[in-house]
Chains A and B, each alone.
Chain A
Amino acid sequence: MLEIRDLHAAAGDRQILNGINLTVNAGEVHAIMGPNGSGKSTLAGVLAGRDGLEVTAGTVTYKGLDLLDLEPEERAREGVFLAFQYPVEIPGVNNAYLLKAGLNEVRKHRGEPELDAMDFMTLIRARMKLLEMDDTLLSRPVNEGFSGGEKKRNEIFQMAVLEPTLAILDETDSGLDIDALKTVAGGVNALRDPARSLVVVTHYQRLLNYIVPDFVHVLSGGRIVKSGGKELALELEEKGYGWTETEPAAASA
């Protein structure tokens, strides 16, 4: 599904990623953990095609495609989805309109017929239930005036509608209270599928109680310094990130 080899990336003249190696197979859930500034969000941004990040070395292959060669929208149409750490408020753009336009672009790309308003609403209603979303959020401008929890829920809701094959969740847990966290995690778990891979970027172990990963990787200084199973997250919780830095760098899964 996803094959990251020796990935180096910089933002301006600041080198942030220093040789990431990671393989994600279909159906797997990988957690990327690490302290602030370790490069977690940069990695997520590079995968989604964010402007201003320059890949200085390495390759990323996704479903056999050179991912780095694709525009952000081409990646999205190929099934890559980034749940933003800070979802953007876009006044004047209707939430439902954006979703319908996006979904139809994805469908066109897959050679499927575009959904009409009726079919779209049927799909939307089902997905909203999954995320326990309020109906009124649909008709409101994208993220405008949403609470922190509503924004994160909206991200996962969009993911549920766009049905990606590779979803990258960038600190989707940050700022959520425990109830909202459970709802969001429940939505994510409902979308787990043998054909869908998840990369869950998080600072805290808490989210991983609800979205149980197959693999946990620790990012530090722009490299994966440790990889393991879900128990690694618990160890990190106990010992803190300082502990990993004294360990020898480990190759990723």
Chain B
Amino acid sequence: MTQIATGAKSYAAQFAAFAQSTPLPSALASLRDDAFNCFDRLGFPTTRLEEWRFSNVTPIADTPFVASVTAPSYGQAALDALHLPELDGPRLVFVNGLFIPTLSSTEGLPPGVRTRSLSEVLVNDPETVQPHLGRLARIENHAFTALNTAFLRDGGVIEVAEGVVVDAPIHLQFVTTGSDGPVLSQPRALVLAADNSQVRVVESHAGESETPYLNNALTEVVVGDGAVVDHYAVVREADTAFRIGGLFASLGRASNFSSHAITLSGAIVRHEAGVVMNGEGGVCTLNGLYLGHGRQLVDNQTTIDHAQPHCDSHELYKGILDGRSRAVFNGKIIVRLDAQKTDAKQSNKALLLSEQAQVTTKPQLEIFADDVKCTHGATVGQLDEESLFYLRSRALSEAQARQLLIHAFAADLLSHIKVDAVRHQLDTLLTERLPVGAGETDHH
């Protein structure tokens, strides 16, 4: 028996206690049991698995994380100290994966929109979520998805009725705070956007902790026919923290889904996006911006399944890597036999600010249709010396010149961010926080 399997086995007692203390309607209870069985069978992934070849999660497997039974006391001041983007609109706040009503507000939502905590829905209205939970985020082959589902308990549920347009972005704030031991936070989000509706959802994942924690989050999005969903996942975890995130979406006919994965900090951050184009004429945009510092590992995995014809998908990921940080990008595009006239574009670009930083890019195209356009590309580069000299010859300091070029590298991605508060914060971060010397060699 390997060390890794021991890691998974150590959750059995915790699961048994959790299942006993948290009753669920029978269908969901059996999903939960199945999920734990899957997790137990799979164990934490090892680098022998192709999808995990470049991402060693031994530090996660080796740490005995424990889920909070009740939410720790957490106040507005602590939340403010995290400097999450301030959006004018409803917000649901979760601490260690558990809903905190006193910090949340759902005022100002138009009729036809409901934002509730999953814990409440599971008690009062399980029929709403039952058909959806675990349908897109499959437990069978994915240990972290199985682990999250086994401890299914709380999260954000957003429902937008047919034809309803929600102007203000809905903010889901997932905060993890340290305690005596390593905390396991496993929130979920479920977004149900009915036909021709329109909604924008911002997930903030942040934390403050000296001890490592694991934020293993799952989001499922059902985009109805003609619906428009604009989604953001901004990850700013503590430097000691691990974050595994899954985003799974199903797109209806002529719908438009965009998601922006923004990774700013965390020791190991993995973000998986899996999108199925389930109706003709859908458009999917997956963008990612990731910053690496110190010994951070940032792993982005995307799968876009073109199951229907005439769908477009665009993927643009950009990384800015300093110190000894490493990044992985694995982009899979599947074009099914019937998915003629597919137009899929994928690109990963990395800017390396130090000699020790690394990036690994792996595009995977599986094309079964014959009348399609699929392109992929990857670039890795450093700051352009001639540009630096040009800017310095115009009186800018070397530090200013570097910052300006770093910001410029990310400029097109920033311009696609429609939520002003999120974009402004990134603007500031990219001009102020990024190291400006001759490439840092280690994290502060």
Contact = CB atoms under 8 A, between A and B. Distances in A.
A117 interface: no
Contacts of B392: 49, 71-73, 76
B368 interface: no
Nearest to B401: A73
Interface string B269-288: 00000000000000000000
A160 interface: no
Given A51-B385, A88-B387, A93-B404, A76 B409 contact: no
Given A51-B385, A51-B389, A87-B390, A92 B395 contact: no
B411 interface: yes
B398 interface: yes
Given A92-B408, A92-B412, A93-B408, A105 B390 contact: no
A172 interface: no
Interface string A151-165: 000000010001000
B383 to A, nearest CB: 11
A76 B395 contact: yes
B398 A71 contact: yes
A50 interface: yes
A90 B390 contact: yes
Contact of B405 (A73, A93, A99): A93
B423 to A, nearest CB: 14
Nearest to A79: B395
B48 interface: no
B391 interface: yes
Contact of B394 (A50, A76, A92): A76
The range of chain B's interface size is 20 to 34
A50 B389 contact: yes
B396 interface: yes
B32 interface: no
A142 B384 CA distance: 14
A48 interface: yes
B393 interface: yes
Interface in B372-397: 384-387, 389-397
A105 B397 contact: yes
Nearest to B388: A51
Interface in A131-154: 141-142
A204 interface: no
B408 A98 contact: no
Contacts of A19: none
A91 B404 contact: no
A92 to B, nearest CB: 3
Interface string B404-421: 110111111000000000
A75 B394 CA distance: 9
Nearest to B408: A92
Interface in A34-84: 48-51, 71-73, 75-77, 81-82, 84
The range of chain A's interface size is 20 to 34
A92 B391 contact: no
B347 interface: no
A228 interface: no
A34 B404 CA distance: 36
Contacts of A48: 393
B395 A77 contact: yes
Contacts of B385: 51
A90 B404 CA distance: 10
A142 B386 CA distance: 13
B395 A73 contact: yes
B395 A105 contact: yes
A106 B395 contact: yes
Contact of B408 (A50, A81, A84, A90): A90
A167 to B, nearest CB: 12
B209 interface: no
A103 B404 CA distance: 15
Given A51-B389, A72-B389, A101-B400, A91 B408 contact: yes
Interface in B397-444: 397-398, 400-401, 404-405, 407-412
Nearest to A86: B386
Contacts of A84: 390, 393
Interface of B: 384-387, 389-398, 400-401, 404-405, 407-412
* Those 10 A-B pairs whose CB atoms lie nearest each other, nearest first: A92-B408, A92-B411, A76-B395, A102-B394, A72-B392, A105-B395, A102-B395, A88-B390, A73-B392, A93-B408
26 contacts: A48-B393, A49-B389, A49-B392, A71-B398, A72-B393, A73-B395, A73-B398, A75-B393, A82-B393, A90-B387, A90-B391, A92-B407, A92-B408, A92-B409, A93-B404, A98-B391, A98-B394, A98-B396, A98-B404, A101-B395, A101-B400, A102-B394, A102-B395, A103-B395, A105-B396, A105-B397
Given A73-B398, A92-B407, 9 more contacts: A51-B385, A71-B398, A72-B393, A87-B390, A88-B387, A91-B411, A93-B404, A101-B404, A105-B395
